Structure 1
Amino acid sequence: MPSSSSASTSTNPKRPVPDDINPETKRQKKDDQTQADEDWFNGNICAFFDGDVAEKLDEGRADQVASLPRPSDPRVSTVENADKKDANPPLQLVEVEIEKQDKALKQSPLEAGKSVIYWMRMNDLRLTDNHALSLASSFAQSNSIPLVVLFVVTPREYKAHDRSPRRIDFLLRNLRTLQSSLSKLNIPLLVHSQPHDAPRKSQPMEVLKLAKKWGAGSVWSNLSYEVDELERDLRLVTEGSKQGVRVELKHDRLVVKPGGVKKKTGGDGMYNVFTPFYNVWSDMITSNPSLLAPYASPKPNDVSALKTFGDDLKAMSIPTSVKGFELDEKDAKAMKKIHPEGEEAAVEVLNRFLTTKARSSQLGTVSPIADGAEDVSSSKKDSRLGTYGTGRDHADKDTTSRLSPYFASGVISARQVLAETARQSPGGKLPVDKKASATGTWVSEIAWREFYNHIIAAYPRVSMGQPFNVKYRGVQWETDPKYLQAWKEGKAGYPIVDAAMRQCNAQGWMHNRCRMIAASFLTKDLMLDWRLGERYFMTQFVDGDLAANNGGWQWVASTGTDPQPYFRIFNPLSQSEKADPSGDYIRYFVPELKGLKGKDLLDPHGRLSPAAFKALGYPAPIVDHKKARERALGRYKNIGEKPDEA
């Protein structure tokens, strides 16, 4: 077991640091470094133990370690395994296997079978503008056979991927809405719930077993771009070919599929920096309107379909909850109000963003589509979208779109959102210049989601707990669990940070500016590993999405692609003024400070008398920002060392 990284440099030797970096791809070149040199990175980048643990281990008292508090270990692949995936990205392997299947089918076509299966995943929960569902329906119609929608509940996978109970609750609520809509089309939605001990790799075989039971000659689905999901689909294609089942996997999550944004200089390379990526991507979507064209909605089955699958509809129903991911009654009610389910709700959330003014009354446990929003559709410049250029940084009102849960679960597509935005824009054209208009700024935010998905597809290591920029593999992190716990609970002593974390815990969501502030505080002020924060967000948020969450955390931690430079460290006090100019956000989520105003609210410990501060019942800052900043600069400048403790 690795020694504590909180020990001094005399007992904690310098860890190996990649020293041969290609400036374009920032990939580590393979050399003759022994595997022993990388053992420290096997599974965990740090021990995440405090000094007491290291002392007990040194004294041979390992039996006492389990009783000591420590943060949850992040899931981190070995460097060797990550490099193997990078050398052979799973998406490429899937595409090769599909090409092999398609060539074989041209020579020996398969029968259509007695039914068609559309395997719905947890990030495409919609009927509108759904690529694979649309094609599966057309195939079923052309062969006069019923379409079956299948969903697989996978508790073990949810646990492995740190899915939050709130995300699973949102999933189940959306499935119930979809089942009602599909029933009107005579299309059965059948839910196969895996046992909690079912191997994660068993999904493809179970789906193919159901295909055999239902006489389905084909299985259709949309691709995801995370490593595990791509390897699942690779097994589905290879096993389907062996069993005579056609597998159709379609790109649907993004407006432009991974690899589709080519460098203007030619070649197969992709952009690792956002701005040139965005310039090409935005040119593509404005010059080629078909990229935003919706896929046709599914057509009805024959009226006999629901009767044919009647027994399965009874046996394969939507569970009321998933064991290990239950919400208590209070949280369930709050989530339903704050994040209403269904495609109609998603469309209304979008419409409110495009046509109504921001309001501070939306801070609490309220619906994003609650009554009372002022309609300014006749003067769009006053809408939340119209003021997005400056308003997006303000957490004290509903200045952002609130669409992230619907994007993450695929309840609405980026194509639909951009097409509707274009329809409501002057001349029906989509503004993309982020310097010239608020709409252009918002479109660029959607493009960040696309960019990070392109990154995880091209560089699988970021799905495996590895930094994009391998130079920072050796950054030395702190390991005291008390600081992590204070950050999680919103008791760090910095009001804007605490307000952000309390919003996270109460609402399963957080304003984007506050996500950056909270993440910067964890990684730069507390000097705790970004993977701990990434994981905590995933376990709390209803909009937990690997690409966006990982991309955001690595941006703040300065380890990612096109990141914030390590020497740019957020000051919690100045960020408070930017994110919460009225103070309403802090006062709502940190009620201990509700009687304060102005700078006293932003920095009560620094501005109030000791007696007045103590009377608040609010914690003192757990670190000094100025000292913490200097420590962070030292760690990033001297990778692999702890110069501040030498």
Structure 2
Amino acid sequence: MTTRLIWFRNDLRITDNKALYKACSDNQVTVKSTFIATPKQWHKHHMAPRQARFIYENLLHLQQALAEIGIPLIYHQCEDFNASVEWLKDFCIKEQVKEIFFNCQYEINEYRRDEYLKQSLGDKVICQDHHDSVLLQPGTVLNGNLEMYKVYTPFRREFLLKLKESDTRSLTSPKVRKSGAIKIEKTIPPFDYPFTKVHADFSSGEKFALQKLRRFCHEKVKNYADQRNFPATDGTSKLSPYLAIGVISPRQCYNRLLTEFPDVLENPKSGAFSWLNELIWREFYRHLIVAYPFLCMEKPFIKWTNKIQWSDKEEHLNAWQEGITGYPIVDAAMRQLNTMGWIHNRLRMITASFLVKDLLINWRSGELYFMSQLLDGDLTANNGGWQWSASTGTDAAPYFRIFNPTAQGERFDPNGVFLRKWLPELKEIPDEYIHNPDYWLKKNGFKSNYPLPIIDHNQARKQALAAFEAVKE
């Protein structure tokens, strides 16, 4: 009897999983599945210990869900991607696998791994890859010259036109196999990788993620455009950790949005469209790394920015990482990141701008630190966001756009509610001084251990402009 193998990677769900659905299309064949942990590779990619724990927790849910439909999940751990291919080759021979199904990953190392697998298996085993983590396949949204867009707005315009014409329906979970449900013979052991506890806001499991999606679309999306920039308000979806490892799919997000707001595409000023816009940004960055693989290699899209003379002040980088810069909105944001492994999107931009434009520290240091902390670590989105903030990427903020951290805090957390949550040493400071506490601290004899600003923003702004203008072509 023919044996098919499903290779799970960043698609840890049974509903709307293209590779799984296709592999199970014939109920007469034997279907098995595998997940391969590669700790050494994860270290190279700076995976956050809390994301490793989150993957593990969701993998246990996946193992149970697969068992209920009669599919065993075989777990294997090896060092890196090359070793995973070698193990797969041996497994396919041993188990007489004729077809292997997996969903595409677009990062350059993952792409090369999959190409190596195809070459290694040759015509002995048929490889079927599927574009599952995107609404539209990379390479299908092109400009008039059949090239990838370098600017987001025209990309979105063309993307929406193609989205209307595309089949984006969510797939059901596979039916129970002919052989029936099975018992789990061996629980998956913890990975040989550091684990950090996952914050309580992010429970694991596909069912929980779908409930979180439904609740967000039903209760909060209508106000998303108005509330999304205010970190003290619980107005965002917090679904990014689930999208990053594929516990839910972008199609499920889009279809749930359509269920609640059927006219979303006709109302570009609505909260629903505003959230859809975020999903399209996610697609934009994925499409970009396929068109420009060097973005996965710590290279800027704007080549001349490689010449910028970055600061090497380690004490500034450490202060930023620890949330002790003396700029409250930056410090509160970094402490949220360090505690939750998640950071509000507006705050991602503010903290990134501060590191690059105020401290003049290489954006790569920020990108790496975020990956080492983020529960929703995703190279494409993280790199895209950092290069946007650093003015080094495609469709980036112009280099002379520099956030004033104090003004940003006053605008998006006017009463300091978010600040006081994460900066308890400022809880006694009146609202009028909460975003500029050094004046109040001086006046009151420094009755707090909150630090003074490590730099002067106005002076730092001038230095950043000079650094960019010195090398601009």
> Normalized against structure 2, the TM-score is what?
0.96
CA distance in 1, matches of 2:441, 2:22: 68
Note if 1:430 corresponds to 2:308: no
Question: Which of these residues, 105, 117, 125, is aligned with residue 12 of structure 2?
Answer: 125
Is the contact made by 2:441 and 2:447 (CA closer than 8 Å) also made in structure 1?
no
Give 1:116's aligned residue. Answer: 4
User: What SS is found at the alignment partner of 1:573?
Assistant: helix
Indicate how the Cα distance of structure 1 residues 503 and 162 shifts in structure 2: closer, same or farther if over 3 A, else same.
same
Give 2:94's aligned residue. Answer: 213
User: What SS is found at the alignment partner of 2:101?
Assistant: strand
Indicate how the Cα distance of structure 1 residues 161 and 613 shifts in structure 2: closer, same or farther if over 3 A, else same.
farther
CA distance in 2, matches of 1:515, 1:345: 26
User: What SS is found at the alignment partner of 1:151?
Assistant: strand
Please state how far the C-alpha of 1:437 moved relative to its aligned partner: 1.6
CA distance in 1, matches of 2:45, 2:445: 41
Question: Which of these residues, 445, 464, 483, is aligned with residue 278 of structure 2?
Answer: 445
Please state how far the C-alpha of 1:296 moved relative to its aligned partner: 3.6
Deviations 1:433-478 (A, max 9, x none): 53x2221111111100000000111101110000011121111100
User: What SS is found at the alignment partner of 1:602?
Assistant: coil
User: What SS is found at the alignment partner of 1:514?
Assistant: helix
Deviations 1:128-186 (A, max 9, x none): 111111111114x2xx1221110001101110111001111110110111111111111
Question: Which of these residues, 182, 200, 204, is aligned with residue 341 of structure 1?
Answer: 204
Question: Which of these residues, 524, 527, 546, is aligned with residue 360 of structure 2?
Answer: 527
CA distance in 1, matches of 2:302, 2:317: 24
Is the contact made by 2:209 and 2:242 (CA closer than 8 Å) also made in structure 1?
yes
Note if 1:631 corresponds to 2:463: yes
Please state how far the C-alpha of 1:578 moved relative to its aligned partner: 2.3
Please state how far the C-alpha of 1:597 moved relative to its aligned partner: 3.0
Please state how far the C-alpha of 1:612 moved relative to its aligned partner: 2.1
Give 1:256's aligned residue. Answer: 136
Give 1:408's aligned residue. Answer: 244
CA distance in 2, matches of 1:609, 1:117: 64
CA distance in 2, matches of 1:318, 1:612: 57
Say what the alpha-carbon RMSD is for the aligned residues.
1.7
Is the contact made by 1:396 and 1:581 (CA closer than 8 Å) also made in structure 2?
no
Indicate how the Cα distance of structure 1 residues 120 and 237 shifts in structure 2: closer, same or farther if over 3 A, else same.
same
* Match runs of 1:458-469 below 5 Å: 458-469=291-302
Deviations 1:311-359 (A, max 9, x none): xx43xx412x3233122xxxx2xx2522111111111211222223xxx
Please state how far the C-alpha of 1:301 moved relative to its aligned partner: 2.1
> Normalized against structure 1, the TM-score is what?
0.71
User: What SS is found at the alignment partner of 2:20?
Assistant: helix
Please state how far the C-alpha of 1:432 moved relative to its aligned partner: 5.8
* Match runs of 1:174-189 below 5 Å: 174-189=58-73
User: What SS is found at the alignment partner of 2:148?
Assistant: coil
Please state how far the C-alpha of 1:193 moved relative to its aligned partner: 1.3
Give 2:453's aligned residue. Answer: 621
Question: Which of these residues, 275, 280, 284, is aligned with residue 158 of structure 2?
Answer: 280
CA distance in 2, matches of 1:237, 1:166: 32
Residue identity matched to 1:325: P
CA distance in 2, matches of 1:430, 1:511: 24
Question: Which of these residues, 229, 232, 237, is aligned with residue 393 of structure 1?
Answer: 229
Please state how far the C-alpha of 1:640 moved relative to its aligned partner: 8.2
CA distance in 2, matches of 1:612, 1:206: 66
Please state how far the C-alpha of 1:306 moved relative to its aligned partner: 4.2
CA distance in 2, matches of 1:236, 1:222: 13
Deviations 1:269-295 (A, max 9, x none): 12110000001111222x22x432122
CA distance in 1, matches of 2:181, 2:341: 39
User: What SS is found at the alignment partner of 1:618?
Assistant: coil
Residue identity matched to 1:149: S
Note if 1:137 corresponds to 2:24: yes
Deviates more, 1:402-411 or 1:577-586: 577-586
Structure 2 unaligned residues grouped into runs of 5+: none
Note if 1:318 corresponds to 2:185: no
CA distance in 2, matches of 1:224, 1:291: 21
Percent sequence identity over matched residues? Answer: 39
